[in-house]
Amino acid sequence: MDVMEAIRTRRSIRKYLPDPVPDEALATVLEAARLAPTACNNQAIRIVVVKDATQREQLIEACKGQKFVGQAPVVLVGCALEADSYPKQAGWLNTFAIDTTIVFDHVTLAATSLGLGTCWVGAFEEGAVQKVLGIPANWRVVCLMPLGTPAEQPDARPRKTLEELVSEDGW
Ligand X SMILES: Cc1cc2nc3c(=O)[nH]c(=O)nc-3n(C[C@H](O)[C@H](O)[C@H](O)COP(=O)(O)O)c2cc1C
Minimum distance between the CB of residue 57 and ligand X, rounded to whole angstroms?
A: 17
Interface with ligand X includes 112 (CB under 6 A)?
no
> Given the complex with ligand X, which of 20 and 154 has the nearer CB atom?
154
Site for ligand X in 15-54 (CB under 6 A): none
Write down the H helix ranges in 63-123: 68-71, 96-113
What is the size of the binding site for ligand X (CB under 6 A)?
10
Walk across the sheet containing 45-50 and list its strands. Answer: 45-50, 74-81, 139-148, 117-118
Binding-site member from 120, 126, 128, 151 for ligand X (CB under 6 A): 120
d(CA 1, CA 3): 7
d(CA 162, CA 171): 14
Interface with ligand X includes 119 (CB under 6 A)?
yes
Q: Is 137 helix (H, G, I), strand (E, B) or coil?
A: coil
Interface with ligand X includes 123 (CB under 6 A)?
yes
d(CA 128, CA 97): 19
Minimum distance between the CB of residue 81 and ligand X, rounded to whole angstroms?
A: 20
Residues at the interface with ligand X (CB under 6 A): 11-12, 14, 66, 119-123, 157
